[in-house]
């Protein structure tokens, strides 16, 4: 089955990013295809490389980055939601006159069209968070 995943909640306020990660990992282990993972609303905060959780806590950003690298996942961050929350890649930072970017490895910024495409191309779009 071809699946896409949407994450709407931030990484440390809610369980959504962790649950989506565990779901995605399990789906891949069962042989399902993950077409895209789309981070929206506060879910875009998963994509910052500047988060520093305590050493005895999981780093959900790193977990997603490693899973994406291992399985060639398309981790898409909504551009409008990201800009509102200060999540920028190199191109967006330059376009807005900022002196740096903070997007983590494996993530990319794009628009809502990527979410629409994910819904069309996938058998199921599984949503985590409100």
Would you please indicate which residues are annotated as catalytic (active-site) residues?
A: 78
Residue 38, Cβ neighbours under 10 Å: how many? Answer: 27
Task: For Cα atoms 108, 113, 114, give the angle at the middle one, nearest 5 degrees.
Answer: 40
Q: Which residues pair with 6 in a beta bridge?
A: 38, 127
Q: CA distances (Å), 51 to each of 2, 12, 59, 95, 110, in order?
A: 31, 10, 8, 23, 21
The Cα 47–Cα 79 span in angstroms is: 12
CB 35 within 8 A of CB 77: no
């Amino acid at each position: 089955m071809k699946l896409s995943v949407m994450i709407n909640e931030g990484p440390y306020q809610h369980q959504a990013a962790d649950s989506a990660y565990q779901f995605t990992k399990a789906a891949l282990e069962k042989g399902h295809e993950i077409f895209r993972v789309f981070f929206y609303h506060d879910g875009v905060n998963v994509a910052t490389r500047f988060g520093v959780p305590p050493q005895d806590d999981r780093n959900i950003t790193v977990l997603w980055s490693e899973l994406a690298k291992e399985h060639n996942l398309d981790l898409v961050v909504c551009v409008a939601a990201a800009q509102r929350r200060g999540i920028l890649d190199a191109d967006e930072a330059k376009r807005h006159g900022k002196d740096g970017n903070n997007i983590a490895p494996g993530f990319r910024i794009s628009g809502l069209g990527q979410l629409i495409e994910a819904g069309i191309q996938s058998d199921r779009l599984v949503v985590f968070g409100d």
